[in-house]
Amino acid sequence: MPPAASAFSALSERVSLHTACVRAGQPRQDALDAVTTPIACTATYAFGSTAELRDHFEGRTDREEYGRYGNPTVRVAEEKLAALDGGQDAALFASGMAAITTTLFALLKKGDHVVLTADCYRRTRVFVQGFLTRYGVVATLVPAGDLDALEAAVTNDTKLIITESPTNPYLRIADIAAISRIKSKSPRLKVIVDATFATPVNQRPLSQGADLVIHSCTKYLGGHNDLLAGVVTGDAGLVSIVRDLRSMLGSVLDPHAAYLLLRGIKTLALRVERQNTTALTVARFLEAHPAVERVFYPGLPSHPDHELARRTMSGFGGVVSFVLRTTLEGTARALDACELATMAPSLGGVETLIEQPALMSHYEMTPEERAAIGIRESLVRLSVGIEDASDIIADLERVLRTIEIANDSAAASCGNNTQV
């Protein structure tokens, strides 16, 4: 059984987030006297005697047993992440989706009801609606930002509210404290927040009443576009239920990826604070540009959740979405012309990435289907990296200058049906 996370939680209460990024999570014993956490590259762990084995199984020792149940390098990363989120414990997974699917499988059974916000991560929604329903789970989707609809959707059978903040691609902000108050309607109700876009630097949902937080560590936490990982943090009892299923499903994180993650997190606060600043600068530049019809960034007063973000977050994040005054093809040409911003899915790394959701994450949909969920043809999502803001802006400025503004772009295929 893994140890309780009390030591690092205590640390995280005394030190700043910057300090916790570097120092929270310590290997339990380190034969190398290394300052950094070694990669424990082993599939199994030796017992010196049957007596040691008995001590382990009867919970008298704190040690590893077999790689699918735990790994010391992974454990240190879990301790660090628990400390950053202010959680009692954390469990790491091979990807963000492994964290989400394992958590939902672990906490739901036939007949349970889940409420999720309509703009949550698409794979999460597809998993719940298209897969969990096969096992008798009932799901209700409610519009983003509609607390009344959320509360009205909760019944006696509701086990989970799954929300996300900020959301992709319109960066809607969830009022986590208000959502968590809905828990008083039903004693078994838990709130899970996918806080991938926020990171513990910008928002700590557990302190606002959420029971569990999930991050795709592939994004900001790893931060270097070199690993896949996911984590669930929060209440120790819930995390333990999720970890037990992980041991069965085998969706564990490899110790090499855990090492990269530990290394990445050391600079998390530095990176995210810079990305917050750069994204706001870029968002203001875009909002003033004639080729840009609309910018979605919670740090701008024009964003519908600006006040909520100011009240509940300590930074607005590194992702900026915007609609160009041109067509699908005009937008594609603009992205093709970018030199600094790299066209790629994903976000949160040190490299600035750019994508056109209509031709990337929502490619297989028809224009009508995209319109129905508010994905405009000329929508662009930019994830700013840690390059100089002036270089990012120069790249965008050069590209935007070439755009031939389409007169009909405001009407282009999506009408008034955007989610914001």
Ligand X SMILES: *Cc1c(COP(=O)(O)O)cnc(C)c1O
Residue with tokens 């991938």: 196
The single residue among 183, 219, 376, 381 that binds ligand X, judged by CB under 6 A, is 219
> Is 352 a residue that touches ligand X (CB under 6 A)?
no
Binds ligand X by CB under 6 A, chosen from 180, 218, 278, 312: 218
Complex with ligand X: residue 121 or 259, whichever CB lies closer: 121
The answer to whether 201 and 17 are in contact (CB under 8 A) is yes
Contact (CB, 8 A) for 116 and 125? yes
145-174 footprint of ligand X as x/- string (CB under 6 A): -------------------x---x------
Q: Which of 121, 170, 220, 259 is catalytic?
A: 121
196 binds ligand X (CB under 6 A): yes
Per rule CB under 6 A, is residue 330 in the interface with ligand X? no
Bond before 200 cis per omega within 30 degrees: no
CA geometry: angle at 347 spanning 346 and 349, to 5°?
Answer: 120
Q: Any idea what DSSP says for residue 253?
A: P
Cβ-contact 260, 222 below 8 angstroms: yes
HSE toward the beta carbon, residue 49, CA cutoff 13 A: 3
216 vs 413 by CB, closer to ligand X: 216
Please state the φ and ψ torsions of residue 377, each to the nearest 5 degrees.
Answer: -65, -30
Annotated catalytic residue 194: yes
Closer residue to ligand X in complex, CB, 57/131: 131
Please, where are the H alpha helices in 189-235?
A: 199-202
Q: What is the dihedral of CA 407, 409, 410, 412, to 10 degrees?
A: 130
- CB nearer to ligand X: give 197 or 297: 197
Catalytic residue from among 175, 194, 211, 395:
194
Among residues 97 and 236, whose Cβ is nearest to ligand X?
Answer: 97
Examine residue 169 and say whether the peptide bond preceding it is cis (omega within 30 degrees of 0): yes
From 16-24, 213-221, 325-333, 405-413, give the range in contact with ligand X by CB under 6 A. Answer: 213-221
From candidates 8, 121, 170, 259, binder to ligand X by CB under 6 A: 121
Q: Select from 132-140, 152-160, 169-177, 190-198 the region that touches ligand X (CB under 6 A).
A: 190-198
- Rounded to the nearest whole angstrom, what is the least distance from the CB of residue 399 to ligand X in the complex? 25
Kindly indicate which of the ranges 83-91, 109-117, 191-199, 400-408 contains the residues binding ligand X, using the contact rule CB under 6 A: 191-199
Residue 219 annotated in active site: yes
**Residue 323 interacting with ligand X (CB under 6 A):** no
Q: What is the size of the binding site for ligand X (CB under 6 A)? A: 14
DSSP class per residue in 289-316: -TTEEEEE-TTSTTSTTHHHHHHH-S--
Catalytic annotation, pick one of 219, 271, 376, 381: 219
318: closest CA among 299, 303, 345, 294?
299
How far apart are CB 189 and ligand X at their closest, in Å? 22
Verify whether residue 185 is a known catalytic residue: no
Binding residue for ligand X, selected from 78, 119, 194, 305, defined by CB under 6 A: 194
Told to check if 203 binds ligand X by CB under 6 A, we report no
116 three-class SS: strand
Q: Measuring CA to CA, which residue among 22, 30, 28 is closest to residue 4? A: 28
Give the residue with the Cβ less far from ligand X, 92 or 335: 92
With contact defined as beta carbons under 8 Å apart, do 173 and 312 qualify? yes
Q: Which helix (H) or strand (E) holds 114?
A: strand 113-117
C-alpha torsion sign, points 142, 148, 151, 155: negative
Residues 78-97 interacting with ligand X (rule: CB under 6 A): 95-97
Residue 386 burial (CB count, 10 A): 18
Q: Which is nearer to ligand X, 12 or 101 (CB)?
A: 101
What residues line the site for ligand X (CB under 6 A)?
95-97, 121, 164, 168, 194, 196-197, 216, 218-219, 228, 230
The residues carrying an active-site annotation are 68, 121, 194, 219
